[in-house]
Amino acid sequence: MVQAIARRLLEERLDELTSRALEQLEAEEAAYASAGRDPVQKREGMRRTLELALTRLAGGPVPRTVSRATEDVGRERAEQAFPLTALMHSFQLDLRTLWEAVLAAGRARGISADPDFLDGLIRVWEATEANSVEVVDAYRRTERDLAGRRTEVRNRAFSRLVLEGEHDPSTVAEASTLLGFSEHVALTVVVVESVPTGDPALSKVDDALRRAGLLRHFGWMGDELLGIIGHGRCDQGAMPSHARAVRPVALRRRGSPRSGADGTGHPVRTCRDPHRPECDPDSPRAVCSVGKHGL
């Protein structure tokens, strides 16, 4: 019974159901109403996912034109940084739209109280749930891919900053931007020898810096862990306490615009020299001040 109704809806009322679902979505979900997407693309995306759900409900073969509908929607929304909660809400509205349409068709046929019809209604939920699961999987997979790409870009920028920044101001500016550091904000550089990957101390430091609202980036160069921390509005005097947990070989901070601009030289190289007069002689590890950009 439900399958027959789904086939009829698919053949005769798909455009109507698409319009109804879009109206409900824009009325109830602010994220969609303010998304500013092309109305034609928005409608096409909604139509494809409804067609896929109805095809599943009808039990027929899935056309190639809609076989990737859920994957496309999940990927596109993740690329747009669209809220996942809003995306899930849209599929709840799909369920409501199809449920109401199937139920209304059952009433029109005089079968709304038939046990077989009522039992078949669960398939409406199953069809939309299958869509929802696939969309979420595609969304999260794309999020992981994007995060991996961002990490790769940031790591590459970090390496360029360390290896080329002393000699190329344009590299400093470009790499710092990719890492999210303003050239007008003082930085702290942390150097730690032989720190194992996944060291709990590093996670503690990262959490503390995150709670303090500080931008940071850590990366390995050989057997040394190098960290860059943007001070922001944080008291610079508090920076050593944030970084102590990783037991730095050196921790150097300074407010100069760029490495070498005021004769400080290469901050990491300077930071590795515990005999400089700027270092804290009472520290069990050398604690110095660090140049602003260009490791």
Domain co-membership, 37 together with 139 = yes
CA distance 172 to 183: 9
pTM of the model: 0.66
Backbone dihedral region for residue 83 (phi beyond 0: left; psi -120 to 50: alpha; all else: beta): beta
Range of the domain at 193: 165-287
Domain co-membership, 128 together with 196 = no
Quote the mean pLDDT of the chain: 76
Question: What tens digit of pLDDT does each residue of 230-280 get?
Answer: 765 555 555 545 555 455 444 445 443 344 433 334 444 445 454 443 434
Q: Which pLDDT band holds residue 104 (cuts at 50, 70, 90)?
A: very high
Domain co-membership, 134 together with 233 = no
With respect to residue 295, please indicate whether it lies within any of the assigned structural domains.
no
Question: What tens digit of pLDDT does each residue of 49-102 get?
Answer: 999 999 999 998 999 989 999 999 999 999 988 889 989 998 999 999 999 999
| Domain at 13, CATH number | 1.10.490
CA distance 232 to 236: 9
